[in-house]
Structure 1
Amino acid sequence: MPQPFDQSSYQVRFEWGVAGLQRLAPADIVVVVDVLRFSSTVTDAVAAGRAVSLTDAATWSRNGPAVAAAAGESTVLIGSLRNASAVARTALEIQSRRQQRTSVNVIAAGELTDAGDLRFAVEDLLGAGTIIAALSDLGADHTSPEAAAACESARGLRRAMRHLLTASGSAKEIAEGAWATGRMEAAGVVPTTAAAAAEVDATEVVPTLEDGEFAAFA
């Protein structure tokens, strides 16, 4: 039976974190959006030909890998501002291959506090909203109210994207050295800067999760 918060009557849905993903109805595609701590860095690493395993990513990012791991049988796509339009095109390509309506759960990872609470992360809202806007522009506009609100937030703030990301609490935390640099270096991953993470549609690469490793969707 449909539940009040599962957004099951919509093709494109939006929620926060692992708990939010579990509230939603199962979807054919799960788009993981963890802009500053995971998605941009994994996308750039895959674009550069570097392998990134889910296990390694979980050592330097708590939220995005956890959402990807919780996606079950869904196709997992890694989304950010840097590849927003490419993610939308990939989702529609998957729908074309399946020859049937394809549901998409867009999950903003958010930020876990030391107490274990999920904190709102403006960068993930804007990343998710930009992907939803790109889906809508391509015709996948049967969006839930939650997804529509994220979409219009990103549309309205697009010109301020760089400032909002670089001035966000997450960016300040990273600038103060809270990024798990040593663990990333050990995994052969170079972190994407906040300024670069704010660049919309900078790459066509869309990582997907296959056998525990992130690789370019093909």
Structure 2
Amino acid sequence: MYFNQANFDIRCEWGQQGIEQLTAISDVVIIVDVLSFSTCVEIATSRGATIFPYCWRDHTAREFAQTIDAELAEKRGTSRYSLSPASLLQIDSGTRLVLPSPNGATLSLATETTPTLAGCLRNCRAVALAAQHYGQSITIVPAGERWPDGSLRPAFEDLVGAGAIAQALTGQFASHLNGRLSPEAQAAVAAYQSVQSNLFDAIQQCSSGRELVEIGFEQDVALAAQINVSDCVPKLVNDAYINCNSER
């Protein structure tokens, strides 16, 4: 296939098609949804919570949460927990939380049996370190957002997050990996390098960041823009994310 980047060790492709084209030939998949699914998952699992991705923000989410004896993250500002990283800063260890997201959660549940990690700027180095234990074929999937017509909107912050992870892979693990980045992964690295000296400003000023700031969630943007502040590695196990670094 022309589109699966199979000639390269470290690949990068957007959204659902990235999952469908690359997962079957990958040793591990890293889902990157910086604003805000992956950042929420990192913060919550770093505190010992278990996060259940869920695709839909409707009545079925509550029904699903009830069937697995879990709490439900709801709309920002309307409940204790939501798709707001700040709402999860004090989450209790052992909490079981259903986290609906049309992007990061949906992609997480589409990888079938391929090992799946949640990556963001906060844990990019830790996720890169963990990913190389699964093998040499590593796929990074920036989630992106959705336009009103349902089509994919490539999101700047997810491209930057993917680039941070790809750079960490090639920079630290060249002795283990061949380290050959696809052109798509190289472009992600270039995007990250172009803003790494002023990361917060760039994330705050991109479309997704401006949206959150304008509705009062600047703290979420600030949390998402922090780089390498966590060694948490959320891994999808039985359709739920847990911190696999806590097992080591």
For normalisation by structure 2, the TM-score amounts to: 0.75
Equivalent residue in structure 2 for 1:67, among 100, 103, 107: 107
CA contact (8 A) 1:40 1:192 kept: no
1:14-163 counterparts in 2 under 5 A? 14-24=12-22, 26-55=25-54, 60-95=100-135, 102-137=136-171, 138-139=173-174, 140=177, 141-163=179-201
Corresponding residue pairs, total: 199
C-alpha root-mean-square deviation of aligned residues, in Å?
2.0
Question: Which ranges of structure 2 fall in alignment gaps of 5 or more residues?
Answer: 55-71, 74-97
1:173 to partner: Cα distance: 2.2
For residue 162 of structure 1, give the secondary structure of its aligned residue in structure 2: helix
Gaps of 5+ in 1: 96-101, 180-190
- SS of structure 2 residue aligned to 1:42: helix
Superimposed CA distance per residue, residues 11-35 of structure 1 (whole angstroms, 9 cap, x where no aligned partner): 1100000112212252110000000
Q: Any idea what the Cα deviations from partners look like across 1:80-111, whole Å, max 9, x if unmatched? A: 0000000110012333xxxxxx3111000000
Q: CA, structure 1 residues 27+144, in 2 after alignment: closer, same or farther (shift >3 Å)?
A: same
State the AA in 1 paired with 2:45: V
The letter of the residue matching 1:85 is R
Cα displacement string for residues 102-160 of structure 1 (whole angstroms, at most 9, x for unaligned residues): 31110000001221011021100000000000000121321111111111221232112
In percent, how many aligned pairs have the same letter? 33
Please point out which of 182, 185, 203 is paired with 1:165: 203
Show CA shifts across 1:180-217 (max 9, x none).
xxxxxxxxxxx971111111101000101111211011
Q: How does 1:180-191 map to 2 (within 5 A)?
A: none
> What is the one-letter code of the residue matched to 2:47?
A
